[in-house]
Amino acid sequence: MAKDHKKQFKHSSKHRSKQVTGADALVRMNYLYQASSLFSQGASPSLSRFYAQSMKTVAARMVLRMDPQVKRTICKGCCSLLIPGMNALVETKDSNAGVPHVITTTCTLCSRTKNLPVTSNHALFTERVGVVVSKEEAPEDASSKD
Ligand SMILES: [Zn+2]
């Protein structure tokens, strides 16, 4: 009987370890990105850059990875949100470095460029199968014993 209780405790602690690390920081980063995108569209570009800078600082301090789709919208030079046609110039160029084409995004504020290679078989780490952790399952053993 005692062994069963101990086994059940182990089982529940195993489920606890599946929780997302840095969940509070991720929520804060999400909020800061939304605030940055809200202020980037005309109201206050400097406030937008401040929120994006804060999001990068939170990610660096908590050692969390930003989603690549989010990371690609932030300028590395001035932390402004890159919106094509508004403050970013997006071009496709021929490349010399192994890949045929490169998407070049240029920030119109600081003139910093981002080069993203265009490859047909490339998948981001968030798009790979099995990387995304599904929602935590309810422990089946605890409900069946009651
Ligand atoms: Zn910039």
Question: CB–CB of 32/25 below 8 Å?
Answer: no
How far is ligand 1, taken at its centre, from the CA of residue 110, in Å?
4
Percent of the chain with pLDDT over 90: 50
Predicted confidence (pLDDT) per residue in 113-143, tens digit: 999 888 877 777 777 777 655 555 444 444 4
CA distances from 19 to 134, 136, 137 (A): 10, 8, 11
Compute, in angstroms, the gap from residue 74 CA to the centroid of ligand 1: 8
Q: Who wins on pLDDT, 90 or 137?
A: 90
pLDDT, tens digit, 9 for 90 and up, residues 70-81: 999 999 999 999
Burial 123-142 (b: 16+ CB within 10 A, else e): eeeeeeeeeeeeeeeeeeee
Distance 124 CA to ligand 1 centre (A): 24
Amino acid at the residue 91: E
